[in-house]
A and B are shown apart, each in its own frame.
Chain A
């Protein structure tokens, strides 16, 4: 599930923020940077990075598959999108804590304590990005400068 935030009036160093986010992704041993797209679209600066899981997971359902972070805009008006993809995320039965997967797939859905789940990783990364936005902004961070769009 992606989330998008619009940040205004923060005078953010977007290049430095992007590099910090890239470092954050590189530090995760389960992830490999697969693609970076940096350029301008209709005069709007645009940077996007995708990190993918580098190894076979121990369980599939809900496990982190890839992370994409995109930054677009200017220091005082920009958007950040983060998407965390999970394998077979729509086979989870919310509320029941169980899986739809049965038979030979039961094993593939096995939950273990050491698995990196997309939902947990997304929550952690969202908090880390907030810290990095504060670090790389020339003006005080406040909730009134931020708008969040969730689909």
Chain B
């Protein structure tokens, strides 16, 4: 599930913010940077990084598969999109904590505490991005300067 935030009037150093986010992804041992795109789209600066899971997971359903973070805009008006992809997320039954997989495929859904789950990782990265935006902005961060689109 992606989330998008628009930030205004923060005077953010977007290059430094982007590099800090790339570092954050590189620090996760299960992830490899798969692609970086930097340029502009119709005159709007654009930076995007995708990190892919580098190892076979111990379970599949809900496990983190890839993360993409995109920054586009100018220092006083920009968007950040974060997408965390997970395998077979729509086979999970959220209210029962179970999955519909049975028979030979049940092994895919075996639950464990060691999996790098997309939902947990997404929450963690979202909080970390907030800290990094504050760190790389010259103006004070306030909630009214931020709009979230889910």
- Judge whether B66 and A58 touch: CB under 8 Å: no
**Which residues on the A side are within 8 Å of B105 (C-beta)?**
6, 44, 72-73, 77-79
CB distance from B68 to the nearest CB of A (A): 6
Not counting A37-B55, A44-B107, A68-B66, a sample of 18 additional A-B residue pairs whose C-beta atoms are within 8 angstroms of each other reads A2-B85, A34-B35, A35-B53, A35-B66, A42-B58, A55-B37, A56-B41, A60-B44, A65-B68, A68-B65, A70-B87, A81-B88, A91-B149, A105-B72, A107-B43, A108-B41, A110-B42, A149-B90
**Given A50-B66, A68-B66, A72-B108: A37 and B77 within 8 A (CB)?**
no
- Judge whether B91 and A4 touch: CB under 8 Å: yes
B59 at the interface (CB under 8 A from A): yes
Give the interface size bracket for B toward A.
Answer: 35 or more
Give Cα A77–Cα B108 distance, bound, in whole angstroms. 13
Question: B85 touches which one: A85, A100, A105 (CB < 8 A)?
Answer: A85
A113 at the interface (CB under 8 A from B): no
- Judge whether B90 and A108 touch: CB under 8 Å: no
A151 at the interface (CB under 8 A from B): yes
B residues 58-115 with Cβ under 8 Å of A? 58-60, 65-66, 68, 70, 72-74, 77, 79, 81, 83, 85, 87-91, 100, 103-105, 107-108, 110
CB distance from B150 to the nearest CB of A (A): 7
Give the size of the chain A interface in residues (CB under 8 angstroms): 55
- Judge whether B72 and A43 touch: CB under 8 Å: no
- Judge whether A59 and B110 touch: CB under 8 Å: no
Give Cα A3–Cα B90 distance, bound, in whole angstroms. 8
**Given A2-B89, A60-B41, A100-B149: A35 and B59 within 8 A (CB)?**
no
Query: In chain A, what residue has the closest Cβ to B87?
Result: A70
Interface string of A44-79 (1 = CB under 8 A from B): 101010101111111110000110101011100111
Which of A32, A54, A65, A100 has most B Cβ within 10 Å? A65
**Which residues on the B side are within 8 Å of A2 (C-beta)?**
85, 89-90
- Judge whether B107 and A58 touch: CB under 8 Å: no
Query: In chain B, what residue has the closest Cβ to A76?
Result: B104
CB distance from B42 to the nearest CB of A (A): 4
- Judge whether B150 and A66 touch: CB under 8 Å: no
A residues 8-51 with Cβ under 8 Å of B? 32, 34-35, 37, 39-44, 46, 48, 50
Question: B52 touches which one: A50, A65, A72, A73 (CB < 8 A)?
Answer: A50
- Judge whether B65 and A66 touch: CB under 8 Å: no
**Given A37-B53, A46-B108: A77 and B87 within 8 A (CB)?**
no
Give Cα A132–Cα B74 distance, bound, in whole angstroms. 45
Q: List 24 A-B contacts (CB under 8 A).
A: A2-B85, A34-B34, A35-B52, A39-B56, A41-B58, A41-B59, A43-B107, A48-B87, A50-B65, A52-B35, A56-B39, A59-B41, A60-B41, A68-B65, A68-B66, A73-B104, A73-B108, A74-B104, A87-B81, A90-B2, A104-B44, A105-B73, A149-B100, A151-B89
